[in-house]
Every structure is written in C-alpha cells, then in structure tokens.
C-alpha cells in the first residue's frame, strides 16, 4: 500500500524532530493532503495507526488530516475551477489547456506534544 510508505516517512520525520526538540510525548500529527494527490485519508489513517506503535514518542498521537481541494485554471478562458481528478476539460469553454494549481499537496503541517521530563538532565 502506497500510504504505508508515505506514512512511514512522515513518522520518521516527526520522530527525528521530536528527539531533536526533546518532545517525549507527541499528541497530534497534522498533515495537509491534496485531493488530487492519490493518497487516501482512510488509508493514511490506517497506516498511521499501524505504524505509530513503532515509535516511543508517537504511539499515543492522533492524526489530523487537512484536505485540500483540487483546483485548476483554464489557460484559454481563465476560469479558476474545482476539480476532483486530473485530465478534465474546462467546465466553461471545454478547453483541455489547463493548469492544476492545488490539490497535489502532501505536507507535514506540524505536530504538538509535551517536552521530555529529562530535559536538562542529559549528559
Ligand atoms: Zn476555459
């Protein structure tokens, strides 16, 4: 499953950042996922739940996905329109000459958590 690989990468990034910032207990991981991205929120949620137990700092965390609608601009008539898939014609003039402007995102917005109690006692 494609989402497993994506989520494994996300958790690795969050883990590394949490360690670096002495965050012991991550409570929320926030992602921004475009509807044209191909990564399905349900599958991401499933992958998150399956993988979070592998990471001490993340295993109690919740996943919050912010969904971004797909938008494209017609380069013939200039209409900015919402789309749910790639390769569709302009709803206004029927042109195929279009440019996707959003909806392909896959970004880590951030995460929230509590600092380690051992902070300051290391080394
Ligand atoms: Zn058009």
Q: Looking at residue 122, what is its pLDDT?
A: 44
Q: Looking at residue 123, what is its pLDDT?
A: 41
Rounded Cα–Cα distance for residues 52 and 59 (Å): 5
Q: What residue numbers does the annotated binding site for Zn(2+) cover?
A: 74, 77, 90, 93
pLDDT, block means (10 residues), the chain with 123 residues = 92 96 96 94 96 94 97 98 95 97 97 77 43
If you measure from the C-alpha of residue 105 to the centroid of ligand 1, how many angstroms do you get, rounded to a whole number?
24
Q: What residue numbers does the annotated binding site for Ni(2+) cover?
A: 2
Residues 6+ apart with CB under 8 A from 36: 70, 83, 84, 85, 86, 100, 103, 104
Rounded Cα–Cα distance for residues 33 and 102 (Å): 10
If you measure from the C-alpha of residue 107 to the centroid of ligand 1, how many angstroms do you get, rounded to a whole number?
30
* Domains of the chain, CATH where assigned: 2-69+102-115 (3.30.2320.50)
Q: Looking at residue 116, what is its pLDDT?
A: 73
If you measure from the C-alpha of residue 51 to the centroid of ligand 1, how many angstroms do you get, rounded to a whole number?
44
């Amino acid at each position: 499953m494609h989402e497993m690989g994506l989520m494994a990468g996300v958790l690795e990034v969050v883990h590394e950042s949490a360690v670096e910032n002495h965050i012991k207990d991550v409570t929320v991981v926030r992602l921004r996922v475009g509807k044209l991205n191909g990564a399905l929120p349900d599958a991401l949620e499933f992958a998150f739940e399956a993988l979070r137990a592998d990471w001490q700092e993340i295993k109690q965390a919740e996943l919050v996905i912010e969904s971004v609608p797909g938008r494209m601009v017609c380069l013939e008539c200039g209409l900015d329109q919402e789309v749910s898939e790639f390769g569709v014609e302009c709803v206004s003039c029927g042109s195929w000459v279009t440019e996707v402007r959003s909806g392909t995102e896959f970004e880590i917005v951030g995460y929230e958590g509590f600092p380690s109690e051992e902070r300051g006692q290391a080394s």
